[in-house]
């Protein structure tokens, strides 16, 4: 994953709200009820903490590893979620490559982060996250994605083009197009449990297929 969001961190949420209103937050909240009680949750690239705050309020018994590459975003999330996060959240600066070799999670959340990967880098990153997901665990996904049942409108294409160019300049994001999420998920032993697409916003729940028990 590439990109440095430190410079834009103070304005990121306001900019997102200006362009998309409340739609990004609604999409992220779509499937949070799939998080089981007492789960160990990985939030990758959660930004300034709004998502973490929702998870902690909805699920008082979960524990969270909050893995965020941007130091500024990480500190914003830490400040935003006190005292909710006390003894429940481990804040770490890093990416999926910084996960500990043997640690595993009941739930993985990747919201508006997989779009930062190039087509070539996405499968490797998703394999690492898959390895960290426990059998039967849920992977909650929300991101920009092309509509599956119709061609993208010209203004949707322009919006995605503009966002990649903007964050390429401001945040050094190397990706220039939306990666093939569906193909990458389907290439792993995962089953889609729920999926909703509203315009360019796609939310889904994927479950790791438990290993077969020898008869």
Per-residue pLDDT tens listing for the chain (215 residues): 667 899 999 999 999 999 999 999 999 999 999 999 999 999 999 999 999 999 999 999 999 999 999 999 999 999 999 999 999 999 999 999 999 999 999 999 999 999 999 999 999 999 999 999 999 999 999 999 999 889 999 999 999 999 999 999 999 999 999 999 999 999 999 999 999 999 999 999 999 998 755 44
Which residue has tokens 């297929």? 209
φ and ψ of 141, to 5 deg: -130, 135
Which tokens is 138 given? 């849920």
Residue 161 inside a domain? The answer is: yes
| 190-198, strands of its sheet edge to edge | 89-93, 63-68, 40-44, 105-111, 133-144, 201-208, 190-198
* 108 within a domain of the structure (yes/no): yes
DSSP 30: T
Work out how many domains the chain is built from and give that number. 1
Domain that holds residue 162: 9-198
* Mean pLDDT across the chain: 95
Confirm whether 212 is domain-assigned: no
- For residue 153, give the CATH number of its domain: 3.40.50.150
The verdict on residue 1 lying in a domain is no
Q: Answer yes or no: is 211 within a domain.
A: no
In a domain? residue 213? no
Give per-residue pLDDT as tens, 118-127: 999 999 999 9
Residue 208 domain flag: no
Backbone angles phi, psi at 69, to 5 degrees: -75, -30
């Amino acid at each position: 994953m590439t990109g440095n969001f430190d410079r834009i961190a103070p304005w990121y949420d306001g900019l997102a709200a200006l362009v998309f209103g409340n739609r990004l937050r609604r999409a992220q909240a779509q499937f949070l009820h799939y998080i089981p009680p007492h789960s160990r949750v990985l939030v990758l690239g959660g930004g300034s903490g709004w998502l973490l705050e929702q998870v902690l309020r909805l699920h008082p018994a979960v524990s969270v590893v909050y893995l965020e590459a941007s130091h500024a975003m990480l500190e914003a999330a830490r400040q935003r979620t006190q005292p909710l996060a006390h003894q429940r959240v481990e804040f770490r600066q890093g990416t999926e490559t910084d996960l500990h070799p043997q640690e595993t999670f009941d739930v993985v959340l990747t919201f508006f982060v997989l779009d930062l990967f190039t087509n070539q880098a996405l499968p490797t990153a998703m394999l690492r996250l898959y390895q960290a997901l426990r059998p039967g665990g849920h992977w909650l996904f929300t991101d920009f994605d092309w509509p599956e049942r119709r061609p993208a409108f010209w203004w949707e294409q322009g919006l995605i083009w503009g966002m990649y160019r903007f964050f390429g300049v401001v945040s050094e994001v190397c990706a220039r197009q939306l990666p093939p999420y569906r193909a990458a998920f389907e290439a792993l032993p995962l089953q889609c449990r729920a999926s909703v697409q509203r315009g360019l916003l796609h939310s889904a729940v994927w479950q790791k297929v438990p290993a077969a028990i020898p008869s």
